[in-house]
Amino acid sequence: MPARKDSGIKKIVPDPDDQIAASVDSLLKKLGVSPESLSGILADTDWAFYIKIFAMVEASINHLLLNHFADSRLEKLITRMDLSDKMEFVKALEFLPDKTRAFIKNLSEVRNKIAHGLGGLRFNLVDYLTTKLDPQQRKNLLDGVRSLVPGIRADAMWNKDPRGMLFMAVCVTLSQIESCLPRPSPDPSLPPDAREEAKPKG
């Protein structure tokens, strides 16, 4: 059987222990998304890149809430809710750190502006983020990236490679969402030692 492809993010995101990559690959599998599709977003146009990274985050939030409530009757309701309403549930359930929820909020606000503007080949992310976006929103988005991916030269990279920075922050966000998903309980028929070994790590 051929080895399963991974998302390739370990080549892009600072992740010495491969924990982020493993978590993101696990989440993509649960979402039914091909693992290489995430890193493939980097080859898209700037407009498509931003829309798709946001869509990946929102789909993951949907998956998190649907798994928590475990009631298929809520699927249409949850998927049709505004992201801000979904994030109220995420906050109440204490699923994600404050800084991650803030990053998702800021990512969403900029996405809404981009989605209703000119798309396609004419959209330039560097130009938009550095000259057209409201200064406070730009600061909020940059602060969010800096809080999720510490140690990167955020200010220097922002004017040159915002795609790379946003991609890294989104991968960290996805890994945190995956860590909030319920873990399967070990088979009670197993001996105690085997049950302990079967418990999910992390």
Average pLDDT, the chain: 82
Q: Is the pLDDT at 201 greater than 60, yes or no? A: no
Max mean pLDDT range (3-7, 18-22, 154-158, 195-199): 18-22
Ordered domains of the chain (ranges, CATH): 19-181 (1.20.120)
Give pTM, 2 decimals. Answer: 0.82
pLDDT at residue 122, as a whole number: 81
**What is the rounded distance in angstroms from the CA atom of residue 157 to the CA atom of residue 159?**
6
Helix, strand, coil content of the chain in percent (nearest 5): 70, 0, 30
**What is the rounded distance in angstroms from the CA atom of residue 122 to the CA atom of residue 112?**
17
- Exposure pattern of 40-64 as b/e (b: 16+ CB <10 Å)? ebeeeebbebbbbbbebbbbbbbbb
Shortest CA distance to 56 belongs to which of 122, 7, 116, 4? 7
Q: Is the distance from CB of 40 to CB of 71 less than 8 angstroms?
A: no
Express each pLDDT in 66-84 by its tens digit.
Answer: 999 999 999 999 999 999 9
Could you list the beta-strand ranges (E) of 14-119. none
Taking the CA of residue 16 as centre, how many other CA atoms within 13 Å lie in the half-sphere pointing to its CB? 0
Q: Is the distance from CB of 92 to CB of 69 less than 8 angstroms?
A: no
pLDDT at residue 165, as a whole number: 87
DSSP summary character for residue 133: S
Residue with tokens 């309701």: 77
- Angle of the 98-115 helix axis to the 83-92 helix axis, nearest 10: 180
Q: Is the pLDDT at 140 greater than 60, yes or no? A: yes
Q: Is the pLDDT at 91 greater than 90, yes or no? A: yes
